Amino acid sequence: MLTGRYPPRSGRFGMPSSKVTLAELIGTVDYQTACIGKWDVSNSRPIVDRMPNAKGFDYYFGGFGTNDEDKIKFHENNEEADETLDMPRLTRMFTNKGIHYL
């Protein structure tokens, strides 16, 4: 659960930057937050005001949009980090990033 909002019901995909996320809410009471994996609420593009770090996450590592086309380009926080065509590698990579964050 990110916002509690169901995009198809409102006729929009992606998340408007005005929507408040759970990470933003719990960040106000000093929780540390991380988002690791696919971020598919910024219309599959790195739109800075819709990226995880702008939406309350202290740390982000992942890609935008689907995993079934060309290379997956990763971002770590707001910077480009890596890219891969090796889909079987994703689960282990995301798991290792999560363990390292913890």
Domain chopping of the chain, boundaries = 7-101
Nearest to 70 by CA among 46, 54, 55, 87: 87
How many angstroms separate the Cα of 49 from the Cα of each of 13, 68, 71, 86?
16, 25, 24, 29
pLDDT digits (tens, 9 = 90+) for 3-36: 666 666 666 666 677 778 889 999 889 899 999 9
Task: Please give the share of the chain, as a percent, with pLDDT higher than 90.
Answer: 27
Average pLDDT, whole number, for the chain? 80
pLDDT digits (tens, 9 = 90+) for 53-94: 988 999 999 887 666 667 788 889 988 887 777 778 888 889
Is the backbone of residue 61 left (phi > 0), alpha (psi -120 to 50) or beta? beta
